[in-house]
Amino acid sequence: AQSVTQLDSQVPVFEEAPVELRCNYSSSVSVYLFWYVQYPNQGLQLLLKYLSGSTLVKGINGFEAEFNKSQTSFHLRKPSVHISDTAEYFCAVSGIDKLIFGTGTLLAVQP
């Protein structure tokens, strides 16, 4: 069975500072990994995904993530955050027939 762990429920950071949101997964088979962003009272928007190939994946809004098979991690990074990046971020792994989500990390960007 697959599972996803997001250890940080909230990450406060100042504007223009770098940020890393952590995601670890467990799976006995090959996985596809995703990061989604959710703004208040909205659905989820795909930031980026890893299906295969290069382990460094670039997404929208300047985000990137690196798939690390040995550490079973898929951490999300951005070198310089903006106030508008304040949102809930969800890591997800695709199971056999559904997506499995982590508990989410609130990125709180402060001026």
Partner 1 sequence: GAVVSQHPSWVICKSGTSVKIECRSLDFQATTMFWYRQFPKQSLMLMATSNEGSKATYEQGVEKDKFLINHASLTLSTLTVTSAHPEDSSFYICSAPRGGLADTQYFGPGTRLTVL
Which residues would be at the binding site for partner 1 (CB under 8 A)? Answer: 32, 34, 36, 41-46, 49, 51, 90, 94, 96-99, 101-104, 106
Selection from 30, 34, 27 nearest residue 99 by Cα: 34
| Residue (17 or 60) nearer to partner 1, CB | 60
- Extract the tokens encoding 60: 């929208």
Distance of closest approach, residue 16 Cβ to partner 1, in angstroms: 27
What is the DSSP-derived secondary structure letter of residue 85?
G
> Is residue 9 within 8 Å of residue 103, measured between CB atoms?
yes
Distance of closest approach, residue 22 Cβ to partner 1, in angstroms: 15
